Chain A
Amino acid sequence: MRFMSRPAGPLGLSLLAVTALTGVVLAVHGWSGRHSGLPAGALAGGSPSQAASARPGRAAGPSAPAAGSSAPAATPSGPGASPGASRGPLLSVQSYAQYSFRVWPGTPSTAAKAALTGLTVKVARRSSGIMVTAGVIGQPANPARFYAHGAVVYIVEASLGDDSGNSDYSLGDDALVVTDAQGRILP
């Protein structure tokens, strides 16, 4: 029994060569945009993580669920960081708006609950804003973070395909977004 009945001909080899080159070009493109992604959120802990490593202002691939120059500015945030009064752009005009699900206030929708798979988000109202604690189930809890003028909390989940049971296999497409009452993203 022959495993390979016939070798690839010149046409097949040419096709594979073109594919290999195309793959290299795409890989270079992917490497250059490796920091593009969702806005920095509080899903990550104190150490850098996929969500926190997202940096704005980089071009993203055509299929990137959420990226682009319009991404909100990411600022370093330590435990209890209190962002200034600066507010970002409207969430509704962001490319990832369609993947954003409101989790607070109110009862999360079915889609929001699905997006929360593997994640945990706790919100406490304060006099001048909200305190948000977000993290990944099974990992050490992240310190709470205060958002001045925070009014609405969204979870961003670009693809539910990486969620299974109570686990989120890839946090690269997840993020937490907090907006003020006008829908402007808070850094």
Chain B
Amino acid sequence: MSPDRSRPATGSRPAARRPAGPAAPPPAAAPSWADQAGRLVGEWAPTVARVLLGLVLAWFGYHELVTPALWTGYVPVVSATSSIAVVLVLAHGWLLLMLAVAMIAGIAPRVVAAAAAILLLEIVISLTATGGLSDLTLRDVGVLGLAIALTGCHTHRLVLSR
């Protein structure tokens, strides 16, 4: 794991020209606590979000792999009691596990986040089609939003780059 410093952290602005005057702060003033906290959050929030989303995917992937029978009810179109449903759940769980590990380890995080977003979009559509809008569906919409946001994040720390 190593911090990805290939791109500069966003949010740092070039020093603005300020008119000289008695009210102007000294140029060498130390950044405030709020600035430091904001910078820290800006640097680490994508990483934290990435790891947490990875944990979500890992949890569901593991349980789908270990107890597929409990998840076949979510498979659309196919009968929940069929072997096809079990196979589909196992494949889904395997994919989730792969995405989870890649996400947590920071292996191509944007590509993985995009794949997770597509997967979650499929889940949201499927849930909406079968059960309409519900708390379950909207909960997944939130996770989908997280995946989409990570797709657009350039700066990640603790990525596996070797």
Chain A residues close to B by CB (< 8 Å): 3-12, 15-16, 19-20, 22-24, 26-27, 29-31, 33-37, 48-50, 53-54, 60-65, 158-159, 161-162, 164-165, 167, 169-173
B10 at the interface (CB under 8 A from A): no
Bound complex: CA A11 to CA B2 (Å): 12
Is A4 a contact of B110 with CB atoms below 8 Å?
A: yes
CB pair A34–B107 under 8 Å, yes or no, is: no
Contact residues of B between 34 and 72, Cβ < 8 Å to A: 61-72
Q: Is the CB of B6 within 8 A of A29?
A: no
Residues of B within 8 A of A36 (CB): 67, 69
Note all chain A residues with C-beta closer than 8 A to B94: 20, 23-24, 26-27
With A4-B111, A15-B160 in contact, do A173 and B70 touch (Cβ < 8 Å)?
A: yes
Contact of B162 among A11, A20, A26, A167 (CB under 8 A): A11
The verdict on B108 contacting chain A, using a C-beta distance below 8 Å, is yes
**Residues of chain B whose beta carbon lies under 8 Å from any beta carbon of chain A:** 4, 6-7, 61-74, 80-81, 83, 86-87, 90, 93-94, 97-98, 101-102, 105, 107-108, 110-111, 114, 127, 130-131, 134-137, 154, 160-162
Give the docked Cα–Cα distance between A48 and B79 (Å): 10
Q: Which residues on the A side are within 8 Å of B130 (C-beta)?
A: 169
Q: How far is the CA of A60 from the CA of B68 in the complex (A)?
A: 11
Residue of A nearest to B1 (CB): A11
User: What's the least CB distance linking A156 to chain B, in Å?
Assistant: 12
- A4 to B137 alpha-carbon distance, docked (Å): 30
A16 touches B68 (CB 8 A): no
CB of B91 to closest CB in A, whole Å? 8
Closest B-chain residue to A12, C-beta based?
A: B107
- Say yes or no: B86 contacts A31, CB within 8 Å: yes
Pick the residue among A3, A12, A167 that contacts B105 (CB under 8 A).
A12
Q: Given contacts A12-B102, A27-B90, list 17 more A-B pairs with CB under 8 A.
A: A3-B111, A11-B160, A16-B102, A19-B97, A26-B62, A26-B65, A26-B97, A33-B66, A37-B67, A37-B69, A50-B80, A63-B62, A64-B67, A164-B135, A170-B74, A171-B73, A172-B70
Contact A23 B93 (CB under 8 A): yes
- Measured between beta carbons, the chain A residues less than 8 angstroms from B65 are 23, 26-27, 29-30
- A50 vs B73: C-alpha distance when bound (angstroms): 8
Which residue on chain A has the smallest CB distance to residue B59?
A63
Hey, which chain B residues are within 8 Å of A24, CB to CB?
Answer: 94
Q: Are B101 and A35 in contact (CB under 8 A)?
A: no
Residues of A within 8 A of B101 (CB): 15-16, 19
